[in-house]
Structures are given as C-alpha cells and as structure tokens.
Amino acid sequence: MSVPQEPGVVVSTTGPTPDGPSGFWPDLRAAMNGAPQDYTSGPIGRAVLLLAIPMVLEMMMESLLGVCDVFFVARLGANAIATVGITEALLTLIFGVAIGLSMAATAMVARRIGEKSPRQAAEAAVQAIWLGVLLSVPIGIAGGLWASTLLRWMGASPEVVALGAPYTAITLGGNLTILMLFLINAAFRGAGDAMIAMRAVWLANLVNIVLDPCLIFGLGPFPEMGLTGGAVGSVVGRGSGVAYQVYALWRSRGHLQIRLARWRLDPLVMGQLLRVSMGGIFQFLVATASWLMLVRIVSYFGSSAVAGYTVALRLIVFAILPAWGLSNAAATLVGQNLGAGQPRRAERSVWMIGFANMLFLGGVTVVFLVLAERLVRLFVDDPVVVSFGVDCLRYVSYGYVFYAYGMVLQQAFNGAGDTTTPTIINLICYWLFQIPLAYVLAVMVGLGAQGVFLTITISESALAVVCILVFRRGRWKSQVI
C-alpha cells in the first residue's frame, strides 16, 4: 500500500525487504517487477543489477527503433537516407538540451531520494518538465518554418532538400515529445524507478515501429506518405510514451509520484535546477555540435558518404545505447549514495559498472570487425554506400573498449551534479582536438570520409583516458546540489 507523506507526494511502502531473497533469478524478477528498492544499502552488485536490467532493456529498444527507422527509409533510396542522417544531426542539438536537462533532473532527484526527501525530489521533477515545455516551443516554431533552410545549411543537395523538408519540419516541430520522453524518464531513473522509464520507451518505440512501414508505404488503411510518414510515426510514437509517463506519475507505486498540487511553477526550484542543468546542456551541446561538424565534413564527399555514415551510426548506436543504460545506472547510484553520505560506495559502483561495460563493448567490437559488411548490407545494397558504412563501422569500433569507461565516468560526474568537469573535458577533446583533426585527416591529408571515422576513434579514446585520470582525483564526491 502507499501512504501520503506530504501534499502532492506519495511514498510507497511496498517492495521487498532488505533481507528478501537474492541471487540472479530473484533479482531479475525483482528488476522486472519494478518494485521500489533501496540502492544505498545491501550488496553493490545487486543494486547495479536491479538498476541496469531495465535501463539496458530501455536503451536496447531505443537502439532497435533507430535500426528499424533506417531499415524502412533505406527502401526509398540514398537521398532519403541522407535526409534522415542530416535531420538526425540537427536533432542532436535538441538531444543535447534534453540530455543536459535530464542529467540535472537525474542528479537532483537521486540526491533528494538518497536524503529521504521525496517532496523536494517531486519538485525537481516537475520543474524539469516545465523547463522542457518552455524550451520546446521556440525550437518547434523555428524547425517547422525553416526546415529547408536548415537542410541547405547542412550541405544537403537540392534533391535532398526537396524530398526531406517535410520530414525535417515535422520532426523538429514535434520536439516536445523528445524533450518530455527524456526528462520524465530521467526523473524516474533518478528516483530508482527504472522499470517505469523502460515501459515508456518500449511503448513509444513499439508504436513507432508499427506506424513507420504503414505510413511510409501505405499499408492497409494508412495513406502512402513516403519519407514524411516516418516523421509522423516517430512523433506519434514518442507522444504515446509521454502519455504513459504522465499517467505513471499519478498512478505508479514507485518512489516518485506527483499529484495535481505539485504541477505549478516554482521559480526558486526551477532556477536551482536550471543552474545545475546549464553545465549539462552545454556539455552535450559541445559534444553534439562536434558531431554536427563531422557530418558537415563527411558531406564534402557526397550523399553516398553521408548515407553510409548514417547506416553505420545506426548500427553503432544499436550497440552504444545498451551501454548507456549501464552508464545511467552509474548516475543513479552515485547520486543516491552521495545523498546518503556514502561516497566510497558510489565510487565502487562506478568502477564495477565500467568493467561490465568494457566486457560488453569488447564483445561488440569483435562482432563489428568480423560482420561489418554483412550488417551494413542488411540496410543498403549500393556498393559505394556499403563501402563507406563498413569503413565507419570498423574504424569506430576500435575505440569501444576505451569508450566503455569514458561514458560511465562521464555519467558518474553528472550523477554527482558535477556537470562542469565533463564539459571542460568535452571542450578539449571535441572542439580543440576532434574537429580540427577530422578536417586535417579528411581534407588536408586526403583520407576522405575515412579520416573522419579514424578521428572519432582517436578522440573518444583520448576522452576516456582523461576521464579516468580526473575521476580518480575524487573532487566529484564533494559536489553540492
């Protein structure tokens, strides 16, 4: 059952006791049931498992969506694939805002839950949602009105602009669904309610996967909308996930439940959240702007290069997103354990998750090196596009073992509320190192698009090494939020 603690907040009293059954299968069942857990006590391995399972499953579905999208769009030709790739590059700026705000939401909610302050956790979640709404409006208007101009700025050919402008306009115009899906799930994850976040993403992506072929090809009673149908399917799918999230905030039995009384603007709490999130937003804008520039450099070498790069990135994301699920578990454990006054437990959790992530991505590296061409040919038959895709997949996978630790450690900093440190690291490794090196290798040295692919491996590996050295200094343990 659940009992009211403060106006607008309900804290569940259900869930297994600390001395309940343990072991892999009981823990797997507990993780899948989504029962509230205390992640600041008990074996660290069990806490990691209970959080990581739903978070990895959440990201696996997210990665499956990206693969399915490009699978269907690839049937429309190289220009359609290039449109999706360029639009995804533009979306990275929105993702940067969403992820930056999400980092702050996760850190603040997790810290308040660790401090046993559910009212403040609920306030942080609500103000994060309001921030997302306020930011989405100007982005949606600009994207909807100037889609063609944005595509031209990104170096798209006239054919790509003519074909892809409606797709880009709908995708950017519906950015509210992206922001909400990120922000509300970040609050759930920070509270330890990872299963609720997983269900929202699964619903959103299942709806999208069903709608995409129906709207693109006109199956059954649906109109044939071509590439534009893919954008409509994505917006409707994400909107379904957001509807479930809002429902879950009222009806769930997790740690975080918000009643109508909490849905009000609180300038003080919003200001505090915005202050923490600014570092996170800038951190990811730095990273995503760098990826944007990489796409721009790849576009020098034609639509086939962009198409191959897009297909390869979809496959890369298919592997990377489950690893991000592990990294998200690190953020939650760091935030809650720092709130509970247990920094050493937080640090041990991070190293354990980093090692598990290294093993996972090490296996993915082997698969990509051996099966790169077969994987790319699942999506496209054009030999030129396949060649670019295979090169990208193999070059980038060389750095996976390093990147496994880099992504976990960056999320650990963010979970502690220290968004400044990874922002500085990103500035150095991306803007001062990655972008100039990509241009030099691709254009000046003459390696072409392969120079960009090689640059990604070098820069991401360097970032991981820097993160390890800085994390070991331990200043993140004293971060106050």
HEC string of the chain?
A: CEEEEECCEEEECCCCCCCCCCCHHHHHHHHHHCCCCCCCCCCHHHHHHHHHHHHHHHHHHHHHHHHHHHHHHHHHCHHHHHHHHHHHHHHHHHHHHHHHHHHHHHHHHHHHHHCCCHHHHHHHHHHHHHHHHHHHHHHHHHHHHCHHHHHHHCCCCHHHHHHHHHHHHHHHHCHHHHHHHHHHHHHHHHHCCHHHHHHHHHHHHHHHHHHHHHHHHCCCCCCCCCHHHHHHHHHHHHHHHHHHHHHHHHHCCCCCCECHHHCCCCHHHHHHHHHHHHHHHHHHHHHHHHHHHHHHHHHHHCHHHHHHHHHHHHHHHHHHHHHHHHHHHHHHHHHHHHHCCCHHHHHHHHHHHHHHHHHHHHHHHHHHHHHHHHHHHCCCCCHHHHHHHHHHHHHHHCCHHHHHHHHHHHHHHHHCCCCHHHHHHHHHHHHHHHHHHHHHHHHHCCCCHHHHHHHHHHHHHHHHHHHHHHHCCCHHHHCCC
Mean of pLDDT values over 382-387: 92
For 16-31, the pLDDT digits (tens) are 334 345 566 777 777 7
pLDDT average, residue stretch 422-439: 94
Q: What are phi and psi of 192, to 5 degrees?
A: 90, 5
Q: Sorting pLDDT into bands at 50, 70 and 90, what band is 13?
A: very low
State the Rg of the chain over Cα.
22
- Could you identify the residue written with the tokens 């857990």? 37
Q: Residue 290 and residue 92: Cα distance in Å, rounded?
A: 10
CA distance 98 to 116: 26
Please check the confidence at residue 369 and state whether its pLDDT lies above 50: yes
Distance CA 107, CA 94 (A): 20
**Rounded average pLDDT over 401-417:** 93
pLDDT in tens, 314-358: 788 777 878 888 899 999 999 999 999 999 999 999 999 999 999
- Quote the CA–CA distance of 88 and 84 in Å, as a whole number: 6
d(CA 133, CA 390): 40
Residue 184 has pLDDT above 70, yes or no: yes
Alpha carbons 439 and 447: distance in angstroms, whole number: 10
Count of residues in the chain: 481
Give the pLDDT band of residue 53 (cuts 50, 70, 90): confident
8 A C-beta contact, residue 140 and residue 176 = yes
Confidence of residue 67 (pLDDT cuts 50, 70, 90): low
d(CA 290, CA 296): 10
Q: pLDDT value at position 15?
A: 37
User: β-pairing, 2-6 with 9-12?
Assistant: antiparallel
Say how far apart CA 367 and CA 153 lie, in whole Å: 36
What mean pLDDT is reported for the chain?
86
Return the pLDDT at 22. Answer: 59
On the question of pLDDT at 415 being above 90, the answer is yes
pLDDT the model gives residue 276? 80
Res. 11 pLDDT band, cuts 50 70 90: very low
pLDDT in tens, 160-177: 888 889 999 999 999 999
Helix axes 343-377, 400-415, angle to 10 degrees: 140
Cβ atoms 283, 413 nearer than 8 A: no
Distance, CA of 326 to CA of 1 (rounded, Å) = 30
Ranges of each domain in the chain? 44-478
Query: How do residues 187-199 score in pLDDT, each as one tens digit?
Result: 999 998 888 999 9
